[in-house]
Structure 1
């Protein structure tokens, strides 16, 4: 295993020099760059940081969306012996300043004028920041703000006087050296900086490589926020395996890009699969007639065949014949929406609905759910293409230990576990058990074959006033499989005498429904207040209630007049619901349910 991320990168450049490393959008087409060219650029940028005086483990911020420059900046920081501090582009000015200040970052890479403005507006609070390096060269001033090309020019001058300095430095970076400070967006309080080490990231990439599921002829499509550990672990995996990556962080372009790029795999949060599922279902419903009947029959047959195969049972001849026909007529078209070459998707960062995973599987699309957290460098368990169980998060990585602790808490141990929270000794102590295991805060169970199943966040479980325990994620996941128009379904009722729910609809899905139902042109707020929409959603809630225990059933619910967004502060940048924020924002409404 390589000693550190820098050696991991230089080994890859040496092994795969002329092969494609990255491709990225340039206007209406895509531009490709080799590993050798990537090495040249990273070497110049890393040397530029050294010329500015970057020392071992000095922090360098990156405030940017996912784009190839983010990758180059990160690799340059690591190869110069520094530590990357991540900032989501959607983070507000105050929190951006807090993260940069708390981390002690000396330099910051900033994507554009918006990110630069946050830094300029809080410059007085950032005395440690010596230079900002911008991806958009037009906003560089040559003084406090320089461009990537300016930094590379400084690096080339440094290398002219110190030939081989960057590669030589790699040997001095120790495995336990700080590699990244990833600030968890968190659902409460100020973000905490997770101290992840070189050995953690190298381990992650090598552990995935060892499973033999990815090779240098694969092609990844990467849109995930690189400020999130899921994005970072995919970069480590790329360095270990050597495949090429097509990068475009624009979420609204994911489906279009899949059709153009035709990747063999992609990592995503469950919300992406939920939206794709809802879009396909509602499109078929809008066509109606024979096409809808054919589509529904195809999935009945597909599900039946899939369940037999997963149970290891033979598929009857006539059923198999029908399945082959439906595969040509229906399932192949579903696969084509994702480029037609996907071997599997990897789902992480939140729980994937098992029914939606099974629906995709019936269409011949495998979604491998994995599990981990920023505090263990993103990955701890994952399903394997040849060994998977839908509804679980798979088996532990080789070298990772998983146990179930007190109260059913999932606990982890391994070389990928963090060194603690930056400047937060008390929080660090609370994150570990007395015998040194990482406490995840997730409730789970291991089956007799070692597959891990997550049943929810311990702090999200609540008890009704009648003494019955409720697991909101399980109920919420059921509703998302039933209602193709839903965006968020949030269950409440702690210490109350029944369970209630707040619901938001997917703006695109409900707009499509409106166009098909004589309500085109109505705003989102008008639609959620429309009697026909309320009646339709009520029907889905009734259907949900038939699948629940009596004490879990939803007695009262309300459609909110807006969908949850990152900008509103109700979603984290990794698309997790900030349940406490939603509850606080709607406290009066929730109280009225129980008045």
Structure 2
């Protein structure tokens, strides 16, 4: 078994020069400690022989980029139907202005600045400005309820909350009395509809600190150390209440440099990368990719419209033609469904041509795994005649790198995009590892692996079973400081030597590629004592049954396995709530069976005979490949409504929140197990 492992006990105490200079007020934890639960404490940096780079603060990283890329464009925002761009030097100056205004509003050292809203230049200015001013920045998911916003703002001791608009402001005003640390609210988009104390428009906020001197700000910046906390990422709460993941300056700056090298990101003085920012910046994947990596390498960030995920993203992609693009699996799935729908509406000859070209591309890409592998002439023909045009329609005519992260992506989706000659490079990691710890890329690609360990990072596999599968553990400069105010949870996450336990099961092949096989906490242990990983079975059902949107396996401490199913349906374009109407793909599935149904209720309430029979046959096919009788699905039920973020079954990054589903559909589940 090939994996890297180092005896951590022999690591020399590192980073002392960055610790001994700290003011006494920030030295609450011992300087030789790898972790802390206190936002004001410092930790020992994990500097190794194979990773000796000098630690940097966020400001030092930004200042170095301004010196290299100062006159190049950094951010682009669309206003009055026109793209307005600012340079890295202007970007840096706006962040300093925001920092001075935070100081003026009384931002305390190591207290929070919470940002609630869709991606924008103001979001970036607030994030970097908060760190420059000595605070800790944290994003709040724009879909959060008022109570969820209150939890994050209170837990992070937020002195200032930056909101996008009136809708987000209303959430904060509802819970304002439960926010004892709150001093001010800043609204960065739209007009203020009310005048209340300590509420500022963006323009007024940016003018607040004009009388704060450069020297005062510089003194705060110079007092910052690379082993202090500057960012809080709140987990989405899929297994309990959200935890505040404390990331140090070194976590951010080192990861922005090294993970992007693994992804073959180019520095702007070689070739400037461009991307569209639209995924929630409160999540580590988007924040590292959009914000910090772009500062590190001089990338140009275009901000999508707030309704990007409701359909406008593709218009922005067509206008911008980015060089790289990242999506969570559900984004890629939605794109796949839309393309499939458009292909189905084509004329006979065009449909035949597209189907042929995609089949040729899929076969060529599966045979030629590495970037430099020579592909056959037939592929070149299919690509030039058909596939280039299809990619251009998606806005990917200039895109060289495509990434998927935040959750495992299905084989069907990966293969579909290979048919378009689009390789989805998977990144695997956690908030606690500052994002990617393993990455696929142009030179590290093998299906269905999620790549190799990021250079400078290490891993080990523990509790390995007979098939070579065990729990994946992480080590490196990207490993978090600890969970805010959660000492016990931090100790559970890190072993005695400081290795981060991922909770994920996986195995490594002889070439060092990682394959994720499941999650320990998601393992179903049946009443008979058999361990069943649910995800492979759920994925198999969705692959067999294209009408199925979500599948969740049930059976922990039960006599047999059962499954909850939801059907693919259309979403309300305003609320993104799932509707009654089946998607075109689902309707087509029904048509092929001889069913004329178009609504979920027609199937569920009418017990549509053809559809139910087809689903049973699909599950029978999945059961036929089960490794044991205990891993067969004995019963299933179709729910009346698809899972959604607004319904609570999915987290902000579209991960299934199993405890929520178990509680919400408790009666349905119990019904499956009644004799």
Same fold (TM over 0.5): yes
Does 1:146 find its partner at 2:184? no
Cα distance, 1:281 vs structure 2: 2.6
Does 1:391 find its partner at 2:448? yes
Residues 534 and 282 (structure 1), Cα distance of their counterparts in 2 relative to 1, 3 Å cut? farther
**Could you tell me which residue of structure 2 aligns to residue 455 of structure 1?**
517
Cα-to-partner distance string for 1:165-187 (whole Å, 9 max, x where unaligned): 43554332100111112221212
Matches within 5 A, 1:92-491: 92-136=145-189, 137-139=191-193, 141=195, 143-158=197-212, 162-167=213-218, 169-211=220-262, 213-215=264-266, 216=268, 217-234=272-289, 235-248=291-304, 249=306, 250-252=308-310, 253-287=312-346, 289-310=348-369, 320-339=376-395, 340-406=397-463, 408-491=470-553
Residues 332 and 563 (structure 1), Cα distance of their counterparts in 2 relative to 1, 3 Å cut? same
Contact 2:371 2:442 (C-alpha < 8 Å) held by counterparts: no
Cα distance, 1:382 vs structure 2: 0.6
Contact 2:263 2:440 (C-alpha < 8 Å) held by counterparts: no
Residues 259 and 484 (structure 1), Cα distance of their counterparts in 2 relative to 1, 3 Å cut? farther
Cα distance, 1:154 vs structure 2: 1.4
Residues 436 and 514 (structure 1), Cα distance of their counterparts in 2 relative to 1, 3 Å cut? closer
**Could you tell me which residue of structure 2 aligns to residue 511 of structure 1?**
583
**Could you tell me which residue of structure 2 aligns to residue 581 of structure 1?**
660
Structure in which a larger fraction of residues adopt helix: 1
Cα distance, 1:241 vs structure 2: 0.8
For structure 1, the 5+ residue unaligned runs are none
- Inter-partner Cα distance in structure 1 for 2:605 and 2:377: 47
Cα-to-partner distance string for 1:538-589 (whole Å, 9 max, x where unaligned): 5544554455445334333222211111111111111111012112222222
Aligned length: 589
Q: Greater CA deviation, 213-222 or 510-519?
A: 510-519
Q: TM-score, normalised by structure 1?
A: 0.92
- Inter-partner Cα distance in structure 2 for 1:21 and 1:33: 6
- Inter-partner Cα distance in structure 2 for 1:49 and 1:476: 48
Residues 563 and 26 (structure 1), Cα distance of their counterparts in 2 relative to 1, 3 Å cut? farther
Does 1:63 find its partner at 2:122? no
Contact 1:7 1:171 (C-alpha < 8 Å) held by counterparts: no
- Inter-partner Cα distance in structure 1 for 2:653 and 2:558: 30
Cα distance, 1:95 vs structure 2: 1.9
Q: Greater CA deviation, 23-32 or 76-85?
A: 23-32
Cα-to-partner distance string for 1:191-218 (whole Å, 9 max, x where unaligned): 1111111110001111034447112211
Cα-to-partner distance string for 1:14-51 (whole Å, 9 max, x where unaligned): 32222111112324343322212212211111111122
- Inter-partner Cα distance in structure 2 for 1:134 and 1:291: 50
Contact 2:569 2:586 (C-alpha < 8 Å) held by counterparts: no
For structure 2, the 5+ residue unaligned runs are 1-53, 465-469, 571-580
Residues 537 and 71 (structure 1), Cα distance of their counterparts in 2 relative to 1, 3 Å cut? farther
Q: TM-score, normalised by structure 2?
A: 0.81
Q: Greater CA deviation, 180-189 or 504-513?
A: 504-513
Matches within 5 A, 1:20-59: 20-59=73-112
Q: Greater CA deviation, 566-575 or 539-548?
A: 539-548
Contact 1:59 1:82 (C-alpha < 8 Å) held by counterparts: yes
Cα distance, 1:142 vs structure 2: 6.3
CA RMSD of aligned residues (A): 2.7
Contact 1:58 1:106 (C-alpha < 8 Å) held by counterparts: yes
